Chains A and B, each alone.
Chain A
Amino acid sequence: MIKLSVNNQPYTVDVEPAMPLLWVLRDILHLTGTKYGCGMAQCGACTVHLNGEAVRSCVTPVRRAENQTVITIEGLSKDFSHPLQRAWIEEDVPQCGYCQSGQIMAAAVLLRENPHPTDQDIDDAMSGNICRCGTYQRIRKAIHLAAKLSAK
């Protein structure tokens, strides 16, 4: 039995401690906003926050989240009101949308650490996240916009 907090809800799950957090979220808790893309820390589709840090949940054994706090895309805001979500809407970022949960979760940590990122900062923070639809240019714009929205 492993206890963890996800999106400020306490959960107890009966799984192997080695099971990646991704599959606990998706298959046990049915929080499917966090995506599987590669399973080997290559694409960032599975990015969630573990105690506020962006982690690749596909390679994070659930035991690392034991008694810890996890936030997924479902827990980012209740009403699309996070500055990144507002900026994503404004810039019409998503295409297929599959990578976007991971992109937003990665960007959220970037903005918290660095409220006014440069293009270079964005490249550095976001290059772990693949978007096969190629929405990178809009993601970059949206992160700049979100930085402005948060500053207001």
Chain B
Amino acid sequence: MSTTSYNRRDFLKTGGMLSSGLLISFFVPAGAKRFIPGGETPEPLFAPNAYLNIGPDNTVKITLAHVEMGQGIWTTLPMLIAEELDCDWSKIKVEHAPPGAPYIHTLYGVQITGGSSTTWSEFDRYRNAGATARTLLVEAAAKKFNVSPSECHTENGFVIAGNQRASYGELADAAAKLPPPASVKLKDKKDWKYIGKVKKRLDTTAKISGEAMFGIDVHFPGMLIAVPAHAPVFGATVRSFDASAAKAIKGVQEVVQVPTGVAVIADNFWAAKQGRDALKIDWELGPGENIDSTTQFEEYRQLAATKGATAAQAGNADDALSRANKKIAAEYIFPYLAHAPMEPLNCTVKISDDLCEIWTGTQMPGLDQSIAAKILGFKPEQVKVNTLFLGGGFGRRANATSDFVAEAVNVAKASGKFIKLIWTREDDIRGGYYRAAFLHQVHTGLGADGLPIAWQHRIVGQSIQEGGPFAASIKNGIDPTSVEGVSDSPYLESIPDHNVELHSPKLPVTVLWWRSVGNTHTAFVMETMIDELAFAAGKDPVAYRRSLLKGKRHLAALDLVAKKSGWDKPLPQGRFRGVAVHESFGTVVAQVAEISIREGHLRVHKVTCAIDCGLAVNPDGVKAQMESCIIFGLTAVLYGEITLEKGRVKQRNFHDYKMLRMNETPLIEVHIVDSNEKMGGAGEPGVPPVAPAIANAIFSATGKRVRRLPLQSSDLVKV
């Protein structure tokens, strides 16, 4: 993997030009309005382009404004450029961008990879960058060949006119001297050669040979390893500590206190970890000690009995409920969940008098940069962030407090040493920033036709935005990420009398977005309750949903999944099916799960998935993301649970915070709706429907509704 080797100040001076070659101006795509949480408008972007440059050797180096964490953006963004640039695909080299204005998200106003937004948010910007480069190369060639640009065409990295041809590398210097074009014309859809076609990932060889550099793989002479000791309960602080046993371990160099605990610094990880384990720390525990998962849900239940902040409201649900033919009420419980990315959290920091250099895998390099600068009293431009491959992110590496980066900077600052901070798996599982625990209560009523006429919904759970940089999105006590998937549910649109209320209790347990965010729990409630109503109405679950959903995309996904799963065909004996459909991140995904239960064991045999994400730029990438989402969602259904006892997280590692494995993997079939709808995301929207599809299948097998995740063994026994 190529790593970025220029520093931030040079970058600002030269606009990111690394070597002799062509540098492409940057244009703000007309359609992309930018938005900053909080409402201010940032400076208009007109910077010299840092998205691609072409070297004399024909290498096309593409700089990614987003980071590669498995979702395939290392390949998809280059596809967008290659489509317009018409370059030689085999000559493409890819790198992550440093923090910088040109790499700010076209909509979110910060440099972030998240919200399943990379492909659609960069669709214009990266194509424009490619088209601009091509226009200049053609112009340069036309001059060289003494013809008009219209007589030239491009092919695989060459400009050709009649029998004259020149490679992009040969033309780069001349093209760099031309003024940028005022506008460029993007290719017609019918001429696309890359977009919508299957393209192999560009990072595979690095990832099957040990060459790929993740943050944890960074090594420099003189660098030491730090392992932190964190508080046993959330919010606890160090009263005092005794490092004598730690320091007696061979290889341990130093022990320092930092705001988040105590860190042991040693020659290697093994020594540092042994040292960390030998520390004796006296903690001031604070109120975090009182949190207990059982009483927590008891308290949430009490809150749910009271009126909350209104997230959605229409008509009079109380009245409508009293008129209902049939009433159904249910309560749902969802635990805290850890992201557990495969690569444990880590960050390498080197501080000199006026420069701090950071190497890590992060979803928000710009925020990390400013938080590091603040800790050190530096200007942001004195902090250089090198983003390496992320061994999974799922939201954990987009932390509003830059927690592991800040901790590493603090360790480097306190010790004066060049360190790589590594969290153990235990530190990760117990380290907080979880998907928040939630409790839902729903009261619904059916009319004479079996369709719902009333829907009352109360949600209780911590806000992930409260107190953070995106807190401005909280309006009237509603953190949209707590209610998304319910308050904007298309089912509610068809129910004239409904209300959705939210309580956001504050707890010391830290919480964060977790792949598909609020939809992780809201989709479960909506899709299992709708299924329950279908059953109560004596209707087929797919047909019932079809009678409530009006949106073209919902119907297309539902129809496709029903067709491909053979919904109306009988199943072999002992097999059962469940369906769910949910929209998130601008994409609709429908899934059918096929299961069996034998001797109290659930086996998921097959998940059929249909996705309408609008245009699928890299269809195989979309399929891979659906496969990934389904395994991720299934893991949560079967195992995902972080529990607290006396404030202490009970789980530690993969033996008690389990992951789905090969032997439990269902056959997954993904079908992409041929769609001209607005582009949506693909990294997350496959997660929400998994759990309800499985729960609905379990109901057909057992006659029992699943109301709590993860599954309990009692859920799998027939009534």
User: A92 touching B344 by the CB < 8 A rule?
Assistant: no
Shortest distance between the CB of B682 and any CB in chain A (Å): 12
Shortest distance between the CB of A53 and any CB in chain B (Å): 19
In this complex, how many residues of chain A approach chain B with their Cβ under 8 Å: the count is: 61
User: B654 touching A98 by the CB < 8 A rule?
Assistant: no
User: B342 touching A131 by the CB < 8 A rule?
Assistant: yes
User: A27 touching B225 by the CB < 8 A rule?
Assistant: yes
User: A97 touching B391 by the CB < 8 A rule?
Assistant: yes
Q: Which of A15, A124, A130, A135 has a CB less than 8 Å from the CB of B627?
A: A135
User: B70 touching A133 by the CB < 8 A rule?
Assistant: yes
The A interface, classified by DSSP as helix, strand, loop or mixed, is loop
Q: Which of B204, B267, B273 has a CB less than 8 Å from the CB of A93?
A: B204
If the complex has contacts A33-B210, A85-B208, are A20 and B70 also in contact, measured as CB distance less than 8 A? no
Closest to A128 in B: B661
Report chain B residues within 8 Å CB of A138. Answer: 624, 627
User: A136 touching B662 by the CB < 8 A rule?
Assistant: yes
User: B342 touching A20 by the CB < 8 A rule?
Assistant: no
User: B628 touching A92 by the CB < 8 A rule?
Assistant: no
Q: Which of A73, A92, A99 has a CB less than 8 Å from the CB of B342?
A: A99
Q: How many A-B residue pairs have CB under 8 A?
A: 186
Shortest distance between the CB of B574 and any CB in chain A (Å): 19
Expressed in whole angstroms, the Cα–Cα distance for A15 and B70 within the complex equals: 35
If the complex has contacts A134-B632, A138-B627, are A96 and B69 also in contact, measured as CB distance less than 8 A? yes
Determine which residue in B69, B201, B661 has the highest number of CB atoms from chain A within 10 A of its CB, and name it. Answer: B661
User: A27 touching B269 by the CB < 8 A rule?
Assistant: yes
User: A98 touching B391 by the CB < 8 A rule?
Assistant: yes
Tell yes or no: A34 within 8 A of B by CB. Answer: yes
Binary per-residue interface labels of chain A (119-141) against chain B in the complex, 1 for a CB within 8 Å, 0 otherwise: 00011101111111111111110
Binary per-residue interface labels of chain A (85-125) against chain B in the complex, 1 for a CB within 8 Å, 0 otherwise: 10011001111111111001000000000000000001110
Expressed in whole angstroms, the Cα–Cα distance for A137 and B624 within the complex equals: 10
Expressed in whole angstroms, the Cα–Cα distance for A76 and B340 within the complex equals: 28
Expressed in whole angstroms, the Cα–Cα distance for A92 and B340 within the complex equals: 23
User: B200 touching A92 by the CB < 8 A rule?
Assistant: yes
If the complex has contacts A42-B655, A94-B203, are A135 and B628 also in contact, measured as CB distance less than 8 A? yes
Closest to A94 in B: B207
Shortest distance between the CB of A84 and any CB in chain B (Å): 8
If the complex has contacts A45-B342, A73-B209, are A130 and B628 also in contact, measured as CB distance less than 8 A? no
User: A96 touching B208 by the CB < 8 A rule?
Assistant: no
Closest to A30 in B: B219
Shortest distance between the CB of B427 and any CB in chain A (Å): 11
Tell yes or no: A149 within 8 A of B by CB. Answer: no
User: B208 touching A89 by the CB < 8 A rule?
Assistant: yes
Shortest distance between the CB of B463 and any CB in chain A (Å): 26
Expressed in whole angstroms, the Cα–Cα distance for A47 and B391 within the complex equals: 17
Tell yes or no: B653 within 8 A of A by CB. Answer: yes
Considering only residues 13-68 of chain A, those with a C-beta below 8 Å from chain B are: 15-16, 19-20, 23, 26-28, 30-40, 42-43, 45
Report chain A residues within 8 Å CB of B620. Answer: 92
Expressed in whole angstroms, the Cα–Cα distance for A139 and B663 within the complex equals: 12
Tell yes or no: A80 within 8 A of B by CB. Answer: yes
Expressed in whole angstroms, the Cα–Cα distance for A34 and B343 within the complex equals: 12
Q: Which of B68, B71, B269 has a CB less than 8 Å from the CB of A36?
A: B269
Closest to A32 in B: B217
Expressed in whole angstroms, the Cα–Cα distance for A36 and B210 within the complex equals: 13
User: B662 touching A133 by the CB < 8 A rule?
Assistant: no
Closest to B634 in A: A134
Tell yes or no: B192 within 8 A of A by CB. Answer: no
Tell yes or no: B211 within 8 A of A by CB. Answer: yes
Tell yes or no: B335 within 8 A of A by CB. Answer: no
Closest to A72 in B: B210
Closest to A140 in B: B662
Closest to A131 in B: B342
Shortest distance between the CB of B237 and any CB in chain A (Å): 27
Report 9 cross-chain contacts, Cβ distance below 8 Å, ordered by A residue: A15-B268, A39-B653, A85-B209, A92-B620, A94-B203, A97-B206, A129-B661, A135-B624, A135-B627
> Given known contacts A27-B270, A97-B391, A131-B631, what 12 new A-B pairs fall within 8 Å (CB)?
A20-B270, A27-B269, A36-B422, A73-B209, A92-B200, A92-B620, A93-B204, A94-B208, A97-B389, A130-B661, A132-B632, A134-B632
Using a CB–CB distance below 8 Å, which chain B residues touch chain A?
Answer: 68-72, 200-201, 203-214, 216-217, 219, 225, 250, 267-270, 273, 340-344, 389-394, 422, 424-425, 620, 624, 627-632, 635, 653-655, 659-663, 665, 667-668
